[in-house]
Amino acid sequence: MTALSPAYRDAALEALSAKEVDVLVIGGGVVGAGCALDAVTRGLTVGLVEARDLASGTSSRSSKLLHGGLRYLEMLDFGLVREALRERGLILQRLAPHLARPVRFLYPLKHRGWERVYAGAGVTLYDTMALSGSLPRHRHLTRRGALRACPALRRESLVGALQYYDAQVDDARHTMFLARTAASHGAHVATRAEVVGFLREGERVTGVRVHDLEHDRTYEIRAHQVINATGVWTDDTQSLVGERGQFHVRASKGIHLVVPRDRIHSSTGLILRTASSVLFVIPWGRHWIVGTTDTGWSLDKAHPAASAKDIDYLLTEVNKVLARPLERADVEGVYAGLRPLLSGESESTSQLSREHSVSSPVPGLVVVAGGKYTTYRVMAKDAVDACVHSLARTVPRSVTDRVPLLGADGYPALWNRRGLLAAESGLHVARVEHLLGRYGSLVHELLDLIRDDPGLARPIEGADDYLRAEFVYAAAAEGARHLVDVLTRRTRISIETFDRGVVAAPHAAELMGRVLGWTPSQREREVENYRLRVEAERASQEQQDDETADAARLGAPEVVPVRVV
């Protein structure tokens, strides 16, 4: 089982600089990690480099849904919906059953008669297009039935409802598992490795120059084909080539609020119509996620800021249907992400395509952009297909629809044995369920850590949902290099606690430091950097517009500075 350990990372960079690979992927988001897995499972030699952490951009800041997109049916984009629903079924049933799970939604109806027929027809089509039957079909509810499922709703806000199912996933963990699965098949994966230039032979791209941000070293990595899978940074990466791309990517900002589960009395999620889009209230463990917005963004891409205006908008919209309104004080977490949308010259973000495109602007370089989280595997397949077309040899077709991620094999049996695992480990069964939902069949590696050091079975101070063993494991096996990697992506402490993880930070740093060899001063520096990050985010969320919110967020230093193209 390949662990993304510190030693593995260093060895990966050395291996990539020593020998030309078939495919080098730039970008450690869900599409880049998917490309690496697709290519390596076709028998190609593969490298993946990421300037920050795995999933540090859009792929850790989504609505965390695996869905076809009901609203795309209204746009008559049946192909996109059918494709996404097929991928949803694959992830749930075969590829990552340990990370993905069904989620139930209630769609309140405001008008009698026509709306039930209209919305009901759409959801019927949605269920039919899913084909697999892996999730229950929708139901029609009376107002009384809807209020029974969601007592939090104002009685006068609905006349009835539809109930349907979609799925959700922890996007950052899923992306990390994609990269780790690629590594287990032989791909070389290196984070904190920034591409600073392209290698050329005439017009052909033949590789990249990479700056190792951890050790301040520069490597040349040669590749037959390079894939630019950098999402909202696509145009920035393309500028390093010195060639105008065949399409451009615009960023649309979406923000989400996280509130405790007891603030909304409901056994189901909600989907609500707003004037410009839809609003989700999504169950998330002991919390709810409320989102999202859809506004153009042209400021800092690494740390998009949520303004007070954004937060107030979501609270206003969700409070239109809640009997007990949410207040600003109820918000324990806020996060903002950028959608990479394919752009023309002057469209508004609501009109930009969620479909993806693949192009080869110069020989040796493939660019993939657009799309949505759920369809990452199709995007990766199309990008690698474009590479294969130029490799001048026979390469097998994509097999990623039949390649489960690490942790998937044996998961259903382990879930059925969770009571026995609890008895054997001494953990409460609820703790075992938590670990199974985050690690699947790799849970044994966590239990081995606890067996060797029983103190790791305790919850970490300041974030009771997570065990101390998870922080050691994140640094030893999941590629976490810095405190922020663990508090915001390997776990979700940064948005699931009112203090945003400040209390847990020193304890997490001590545990990570054991693996990463941090000195006391390094631990203090990591904790201080995280505290400044939280302080800057809180300040940005008090600002009234994007410009001042962005300026406030940029007040915190990067834990590892990345050059801005």
| Same-domain pairing of 431 and 532 | yes
In whole angstroms, give the CA distance from residue 220 to residue 239: 19
φ, ψ for residue 56 (rounded to 5)?
-75, -10
φ, ψ for residue 132 (rounded to 5)?
-65, -25
> Do residues 158 and 110 touch, judged by C-beta distance below 8 A?
yes
Let me know if residue 403 belongs to a domain: no
* Parts of the chain with a pLDDT under 70: 132-133, 244, 344-354, 563-565
Let me know if residue 110 belongs to a domain: yes
In whole angstroms, give the CA distance from residue 58 to residue 292: 14
Let me know if residue 494 belongs to a domain: yes
- Residue 460: strand pairing partners: 463
| Same-domain pairing of 530 and 384 | no
| Same-domain pairing of 533 and 420 | yes
The predicted structure's pLDDT at residue 137: 92
Range of the domain at 524: 411-555
CATH of the domain at 234: 3.50.50.60
| Same-domain pairing of 244 and 257 | no
| Same-domain pairing of 436 and 371 | no
Please name the amino acid found at residue 267: S
Q: pTM of this prediction?
A: 0.96
Let me know if residue 274 belongs to a domain: yes
Let me know if residue 122 belongs to a domain: yes
| Same-domain pairing of 501 and 437 | yes
Let me know if residue 289 belongs to a domain: yes
Convert the pLDDT of each residue in 289-344 to its tens digit: 999 999 999 999 999 999 999 999 999 999 999 999 999 999 999 999 999 988 75
CATH of the domain at 326: 3.30.9.10
Residue 55's nearest CA partner among 131, 4, 125 is 4
Let me know if residue 180 belongs to a domain: yes
| Same-domain pairing of 240 and 255 | no
Number of structural domains the chain divides into? 3
| Same-domain pairing of 522 and 442 | yes
| Same-domain pairing of 283 and 154 | yes
Convert the pLDDT of each residue in 260-292 to its tens digit: 999 999 999 999 988 777 899 999 999 999 999
| Domain finish residue from 356, 389, 422 | 389
Tokens 């192009």 map to which residue?
359
The predicted structure's pLDDT at residue 132: 66
The predicted structure's pLDDT at residue 348: 37
| Same-domain pairing of 336 and 371 | no
Let me know if residue 1 belongs to a domain: no
| Same-domain pairing of 464 and 550 | yes
Written as six digits, the tokens of 307 are 């303004």
| Same-domain pairing of 236 and 263 | no
